[in-house]
Amino acid sequence: MSSTVSIQQNLSPLLSLGTLCKSLAISGLVLFLFYTFLFNPPNNYQPSDLLSTIKQKWPINIPPTTNNIIPPTTNINHIVFGIVGSMNTWKYKNSYSAAWWQPNITRGYLFLDRAPTPEFQPWPSNFPPFRVNEDVSKLRAFPRMVRPMQVRIVRTIMELFRQGDKNVRWYVMADDDTVLFVDNLVGVLAKYNHSKYYYIGSNSECVKSNFDFSFDMAFGGAGYALSYPLVEALAAKLDACIERYPYLYVSDFMLHSCLADLGVPLTHHKGFHQIDLVNDISGLLSAHPQFPFLSLHHIDTVDPIFPSMNRSEAINHLMKAAKADQSRLLQQTICYHRPTNWSFSISWGYSTYIYENIIPRSILWRPLETFRPWARNARPPLYMFNTRWLSNNGCEAPHVFFLDSIGRSDEGDQIVTTYIRKSARGLPPCSFTGNHSADPITKIQVFSPATTRMEAGGRDCCDIVNMGRSNNITEVKYRACMKDEVIA
């Protein structure tokens, strides 16, 4: 008996060692099979499917919730527009709203200071449906308000919210002399999270205007966008904010102040245009920054944007290009013709410039200063962007062509925009580059793809495919830029 016990005691370490080795062997086999299964898949297996393979073999049960549903991309149905107007001026400005408003597609309201006069009854269907603003004299702060009219304007946001439209993601506010480019607005707003607080807009083109109010304030004439949850929060506190700031005399600054008190800063986005400018703004529109063109304001304070047209006709002419391809509207494309040493600067749907010289993009991106600032007493710096002075030098002054017509190529796959000369340049040719005069050119046709839209912040490249060999018409064809394409 004692010998048996002694033998078992002597064998016990060996038995334990054997059990351990057996466990290690089994574990090693399992790991080997696991490794072989995951990291030596069939030949058609893609590494990116690794996570899905694991989920198929070892599914994780996630209870279905609304958070797992991907909401649809923001579209025109998610936006409500609030247009602020006055019955005294509506008769002069209604054509601007009619130019962009799309009955039964866009939704929103025109807010007036009083009911429409008989001349607008019945209310035309091509206008936004109207509402009459609430009487601000009922507010406790009314006796202390510096400018009740401005309070009416800022309270329009709250009144717009109270209309109770459903499935709203964004409220876009603008004036009745503002033209909006809705397709581009939809594309821009779709890039933002509408469930967060957002206040999106841009400041003035002029330094003094921003200095007088704020460099971080959206100018309402240019238009701005507010996300639904932000408007919901603002509507509950707006009157209290007005009570707090009755001495503010500009609605845009009232809104900026109230939103700042809520902790919401401005999200700057280029493309909204206040146009605190006077005279001829063609230089600005011909060198638009590489951002979608979203709005145009103060149309009545500048020259008609197309020569030989009145302001309303000029806006409707621009809208023809907007309807054809809003993504490219006013987007600047630059290309060169080396045999003649010419530079072409094309503002799609608006203008084309020919320079009898090879001029770098860094210069052509700067607008020609055909305009002046809003304030006559402004001192430099005048603008929030760099400009170029006009020149009488034949090597620096462009030949200017404006949009004449829009059509399709015979095959239908190209949009053809045609630009005609504004007037004779009246300068000698640029002798520095070989006296190749562009004076004979009377028309420029630009071919762009009809089915491919330009991505926000993207660019096109172009080639000169016909240099006026027939009928003094030059043809330019847009194409995708090649990798690492440069001027040289």
**Could you state, in order of their start, the residue ranges of all structural domains in the chain?**
76-274, 319-479
> Cα–Cα distance between 224 and 219 in angstroms, integer?
8
Question: pLDDT-derived band of residue 57, with 50, 70 and 90 as boundaries?
Answer: very low
SS3 for 366?
Answer: coil
Do residues 242 and 151 touch, judged by C-beta distance below 8 A? Answer: yes
Is the model more confident about 214 or about 54? 214
Superfamily of domain 319-479: Mannose-6-phosphate receptor binding domain (2.70.130.10)
- Say if pTM beats, i.e. exceeds, 0.75: yes
End-to-end CA distance of the chain: 101
Does the domain at 76-274 match CATH 1.10.540.10? Answer given as no
- DSSP E strand boundaries for 16-106: 79-84
Of the listed ranges 18-22, 34-38, 182-186, 243-247, the one predicted with least confidence: 34-38
* 61 compared with 239, residue with greater pLDDT: 239
Cα–Cα distance, 316 to 305 (Å, whole number)? 11
Given a cut of 70, is residue 169 above it in pLDDT?
Answer: yes
What percent of the chain stands above pLDDT 90?
A: 75
Which amino acid appears at position 184 of this protein? Answer: N
Dist. CA 67–CA 71, nearest whole Å:
9
- Rounded-to-integer distance, Cα 116 and Cα 112, Å: 8
Rounded Cα distance, 132 and 156, in Å: 10
Averaged pLDDT, 190-216: 97
User: What does the pLDDT look like over 334-380, one tens digit per residue?
Assistant: 999 999 999 999 999 999 999 999 999 999 999 999 999 998 888 99
Report how far Cα 426 is from the mean position of its chain's Cα atoms.
Answer: 37
Of the pLDDT bands very low, low, confident and very high (cuts 50, 70, 90), residue 457 is confident
